[in-house]
């Protein structure tokens, strides 16, 4: 009897491994696959970060061949800000204005720009995606981010749409802290309507950004000059 009891007790006392919610991970993977495989799409985006004092609204359009257009405007604190990023597949032109100061620059479009941008957008959101995707670095590839601890954390309406809320942690190479991401996925389209990304250090949130997504359009009608870079 004892030889059966001891292993059982040891098993019960052993630390439990983190439980992955398969439904939550499957829902995320379905969205990720849709986003990274779509040929072209357009979406409206509202970004807010209390810690960064940023509130902006804009639109993103993506098409094959590293063609990209992102425009947004809003405020950072009391300062009006606006920005645009436009790539015709060969050249990317960037404009940024804060108050009465502005900056414009152009550079060759990186061959991996769209892959990196969509990879980061799927895992971390557009705010990180714009920074890391438009300046791809091999040491900070979205494929090196590991997502763990998937779980369903509720249901909620975003506007008039029903959503399922999934949560997961992001492990970043050479970083101790694991950002937490929540995604509000439309129960019909499986595309996100809301995201919250936050970083907590010693029990204190040091960074939080909320992104709202609306008017997803797959394979939108594009104008002939949609991605024309000004000379």
Q: What is the pLDDT of residue 14?
A: 40
pLDDT in tens, 2-54: 343 433 334 333 444 444 588 999 999 999 998 888 889 999 999 998 877 88
Residue 11 lies in a domain: no
CB 180 within 8 A of CB 167: yes
Q: Which residues pair with 117 in a beta bridge?
A: none
CATH code at 134?
A: 2.50.20.20
- Is residue 1 in a domain? no
DSSP string, the chain: -HHHHHHHHHHHHSPPPPPP-HHHHHHHHHHHHHHHH-S-EEEEEEEEETTTTEEEEEEEEEETTTEEEEEEEEEETTEEEEEEEEEESSEEEEEEEETTEEEEEEEEPPTTHHHHHHHHHHHT-HHHHHHHHSS--GGG-GGG-EEEEEEEEEEEEETTEEEEEEEEEEEPTT-SS--EEEEEEETTT--EEEEEEEEEETTEEEEEEEEEEEEEEES----TTTTPPP-
184 in a domain, yes or no?
A: yes
Report yes or no on 3 lying in a domain. no
The answer to whether residue 173 sits within a structural domain is: yes
CA 21 – CA 34 distance, rounded (Å) = 20
Q: Which domain holds residue 186?
A: 20-216
d(CA 190, CA 185): 5
Q: If you count them, how many residues does the chain have?
A: 231
Residue 229 lies in a domain: no
Q: What is the pLDDT of residue 2?
A: 39
Residue 132 lies in a domain: yes
Predicted pLDDT at 212? 97
Domain count within the chain: 1
- What is the pTM (predicted TM-score) of this model? 0.85
Q: Which residues of the chain have pLDDT under 50?
A: 1-19
- Kindly state whether residue 133 falls inside one of the protein's structural domains: yes
């Amino acid at each position: 009897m004892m030889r059966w009891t001891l292993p059982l007790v040891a098993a019960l006392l052993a630390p439990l491994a983190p439980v992955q919610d398969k439904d939550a991970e499957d829902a995320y993977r379905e969205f990720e696959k849709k986003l990274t495989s779509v040929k072209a799409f357009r979406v409206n985006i509202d970004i807010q970060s209390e810690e960064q004092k940023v509130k902006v609204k804009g639109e993103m359009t993506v098409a094959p061949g590293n063609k990209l257009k992102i425009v947004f405007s809003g405020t950072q604190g009391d300062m009006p800000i606006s920005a645009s990023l436009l790539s015709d597949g060969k050249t990317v032109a960037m404009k940024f204005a804060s108050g009465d100061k502005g900056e414009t620059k152009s550079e060759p479009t990186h061959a991996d720009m769209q892959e990196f941008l969509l990879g980061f957008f799927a895992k971390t959101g557009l705010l990180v995606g714009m920074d890391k995707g438009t300046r791809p670095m091999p040491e900070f590839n979205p494929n090196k981010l590991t997502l763990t601890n998937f779980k369903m954390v509720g249901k909620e309406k975003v506007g008039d749409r029903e959503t399922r809320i999934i949560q997961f942690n992001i492990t970043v190479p050479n970083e101790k802290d694991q950002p937490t991401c929540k995604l509000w996925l439309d129960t019909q389209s499986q595309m996100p309507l809301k995201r919250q990304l936050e970083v907590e250090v010693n029990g204190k949130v040091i960074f939080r950004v909320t992104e709202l997504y609306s008017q997803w359009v797959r394979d939108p009608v594009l104008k002939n000059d949609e991605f024309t870079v000004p000379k």
